[in-house]
């Protein structure tokens, strides 16, 4: 028990970290570039070109493709992140293709971590936000670390989200910070003086059409080509040099009903203002998303969430309100400000919860089967004692190999339950056979250990050797460690602990009649 609890304490001390799934070894990753809203396409192209030059100089990069103003072809990761919807002059994607994994010793995750710093240093020179996006090993999420901010006022939600974002930036192992709030974009509100326009004989719609044509162009017909299948449109538009400022558009003239030409600026009032920002909703509730990724010694979001939670009391909210944390479900009401942790954490919670329920069902079924066979309710408890002992080898194995305890590790722990119980059954069944033959309890237990050790070791060896095949796979390494480490330690401890527990339980039963007789 001391060894068991000492090994489990490694989860608390973070000597063994818990993560949904480790990063897989892929042959590609993406660099997603976001410039401030309102940035020109040419400046975005300059950032992408500079980053692309750095990427092309890396020895393990086979080639790269740059997409300016649009998204790269949608990948598995983009299904949830909606990368296919990325459009605009301020966005760019770089698809980086690596040398095939059989020709390199470094995993793609290690390559991406090495390139993240220099790429982001280049992006900072242009006031850009560059994120390294890897193909996820499991279900895709909006981001590895997601904080959803809910509340009664959207502008205040943005203020709270900005403070949460600042806390996450200061948190160790958190990288690629971003949020789904646009930067302030200046805009011009043009209001037509209808009374003045009427005196000149000009309609409001005519002024609006002229301004729109100056900014976006106007279709004025088609070229007469009788033999053509598709007609060629004629579009009237200003050159880029002639619409570099708002004054260029306001100097356009509108022709009145009497043939008089009047500049647009004489008929309108222009107000400079900030364009409204997009409002995101999840399940019909207004939400502000704060996004981040994990890289470093502890790449599991649960540790970053714990660190941020310790400092949430410093977040300022409007008077009369508080900031409540939610870990497993979205808040039902929007009458208070709430922070809901999502992303990989949500999937980790659901997967380990479901695996825990499955493990409980397995234990109950095994217990029922053993009770039915031995016709005893206490003997199965001795047999099940071997199951938690496998955690000693599982945890120590993950610690020795510096591996994460993942969902596949948990699956291996569940799979071991049947093997470990089988070893206990081999011992106790043999003991009962010898007891029925009149052999003393102590002698029967010793003989059971001598006779049954060989088949128990053969079974354990088969399980451990079979797991060697998947030990070097980045995704299923946790399963292999659980099968190998759990089998080895649990087998040896089963040969010691189960006979001792059974001796102690049966010894008391055999002593009870002798006391009554005396």
3-state secondary structure of 495: helix
Q: State residue 516's pLDDT score.
A: 39
DSSP codes joined into one string, 121-134 = HHHHHTT-EEEEEE
Helix 108-125 × helix 41-56 angle, to 10°: 140
Q: State residue 215's pLDDT score.
A: 86
What is the greatest pairwise CA distance in the chain? 131
* Residue 389 to residue 174: CA distance in whole angstroms: 35
C-alpha gyration radius of the chain: 34
Calculate the CA 374 to chain-centre distance: 47
> Which pLDDT band, with edges at 50, 70 and 90, does 514 fall under?
very low
- Environment class of residue 153 by beta-carbon count within 10 Å: exposed (0-12), middle (13-18) or buried (19+)? middle
Q: State residue 146's pLDDT score.
A: 94
Pair of tokens at residue 188: 């011009």
- Environment class of residue 172 by beta-carbon count within 10 Å: exposed (0-12), middle (13-18) or buried (19+)? exposed
- Report pLDDT digits (tens) over 278-324: 899 999 999 999 999 988 888 889 899 999 999 999 999 999 999 99
Residues 6+ apart with CB under 8 A from 496: none
- Report pLDDT digits (tens) over 165-178: 999 999 988 999 99
- Report pLDDT digits (tens) over 55-73: 999 989 999 999 999 999 8
- Report pLDDT digits (tens) over 61-110: 999 999 999 999 888 888 888 888 899 999 999 999 999 988 888 989 99
- Environment class of residue 352 by beta-carbon count within 10 Å: exposed (0-12), middle (13-18) or buried (19+)? middle
DSSP codes joined into one string, 164-215 = HHHHHHHSTTEEEEEES-PPP-EEEEEEE-HHHHHHTT--HHHHHHHHHHHH
Question: With pLDDT > 70 as the criterion, what percentage of the chain qualifies?
Answer: 98
* Residue 231 to residue 110: CA distance in whole angstroms: 54
Calculate the CA 349 to chain-centre distance: 12
> Which pLDDT band, with edges at 50, 70 and 90, does 518 fall under?
very low
Q: State residue 50's pLDDT score.
A: 95
Which of the two residues, 508 and 23, has the higher pLDDT score?
23
Q: How does DSSP classify residue 35?
A: P
Q: How does DSSP classify residue 262?
A: E
Question: Per DSSP, what are the bridge partners of residue 61?
Answer: 98
- Report pLDDT digits (tens) over 153-169: 999 999 999 999 999 99
Question: With pLDDT > 90 as the criterion, what percentage of the chain qualifies?
Answer: 42
Q: State residue 243's pLDDT score.
A: 82
Average pLDDT, the chain: 88
* pTM for this model (two decimals): 0.80
CA dist list (Å): 466 to 230, 389, 397, 452, 469: 66, 21, 16, 22, 6
Which of the two residues, 517 and 136, has the higher pLDDT score?
136
Q: State residue 508's pLDDT score.
A: 67
- Report pLDDT digits (tens) over 233-252: 888 888 888 888 888 888 98
Q: Is the pLDDT of residue 401 over 60?
A: yes
Mean pLDDT of 349-364: 90
Q: Is the pLDDT of residue 512 over 60?
A: no
* Residue 210 to residue 274: CA distance in whole angstroms: 23
């Amino acid at each position: 028990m001391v060894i068991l609890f000492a090994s489990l304490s490694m989860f608390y001390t973070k000597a063994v970290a818990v993560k949904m799934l480790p990063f897989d070894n892929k042959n590609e990753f993406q660099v997603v570039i976001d410039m401030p809203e309102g940035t020109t396409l040419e400046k975005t192209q300059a950032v992408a070109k500079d980053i692309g030059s750095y990427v092309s100089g890396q020895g393990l990069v086979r080639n790269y493709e740059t997409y300016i103003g649009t998204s790269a072809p949608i990948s598995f990761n983009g299904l949830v992140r909606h990368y296919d919807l990325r459009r605009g002059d301020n966005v760019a994607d770089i698809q980086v293709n690596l040398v095939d994994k059989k020709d390199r010793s470094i995993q793609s995750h290690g390559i991406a971590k090495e390139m993240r710093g220099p790429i982001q240093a280049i992006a900072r020179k242009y006031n850009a936000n560059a994120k390294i996006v890897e193909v996820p090993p499991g279900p895709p999420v909006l981001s590895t670390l997601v904080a959803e901010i809910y509340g009664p006022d959207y502008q205040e939600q943005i203020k709270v989200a900005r403070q949460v974002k600042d806390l996450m930036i200061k948190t160790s192992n958190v990288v690629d910070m971003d949020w789904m709030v646009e930067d302030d974009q200046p805009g011009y509100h043009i209001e037509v003086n209808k009374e003045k326009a009427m005196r000149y004989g000009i309609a409001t719609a005519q002024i609006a059409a002229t301004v729109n044509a100056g900014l976006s162009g106007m279709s004025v017909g088609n070229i007469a080509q009788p033999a053509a299948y598709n007609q060629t449109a004629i579009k009237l538009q200003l050159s880029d040099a002639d619409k570099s400022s708002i004054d260029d558009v306001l100097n356009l003239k509108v022709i009145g009903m009497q043939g008089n030409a009047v500049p647009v600026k004489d008929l309108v009032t222009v107000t400079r203002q900030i364009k409204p920002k997009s409002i995101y909703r999840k399940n019909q509730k207004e939400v502000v998303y704060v996004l981040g990724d994990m890289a470093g010694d502890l790449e599991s979001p649960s540790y970053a969430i714990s660190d941020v939670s310790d400092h949430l009391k410093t977040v300022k909210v409007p008077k009369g309100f508080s900031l409540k944390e939610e870990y497993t479900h979205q808040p039902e009401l929007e009458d208070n400000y709430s922070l809901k942790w999502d992303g990989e954490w949500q999937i980790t919670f659901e997967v380990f919860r479901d695996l825990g329920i499955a493990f409980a069902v397995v234990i109950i079924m095994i217990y029922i089967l053993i009770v039915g066979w031995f016709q005893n309710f206490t003997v199965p408890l001795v047999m099940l004692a071997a199951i938690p002992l496998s955690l000693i080898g599982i945890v120590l194995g993950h610690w020795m190999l510096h591996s994460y305890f993942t969902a596949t590790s948990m699956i291996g722990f569940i799979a071991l339950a049947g093997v470990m119980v089988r070893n206990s059954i081999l011992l106790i069944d043999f003991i009962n056979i010898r007891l029925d033959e009149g052999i003393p309890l102590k002698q029967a237990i010793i003989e059971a250990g001598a006779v049954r050790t060989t088949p128990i070791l053969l079974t354990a060896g088969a399980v451990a050797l079979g797991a060697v095949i998947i030990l070097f796979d980045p995704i299923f390494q946790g399963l292999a460690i659980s099968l190998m480490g759990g089998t080895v330690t649990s087998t040896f401890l089963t040969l010691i602990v189960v006979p001792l527990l059974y001796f102690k339980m049966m010894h008391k039963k055999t002593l009870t009649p002798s006391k009554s007789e005396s």
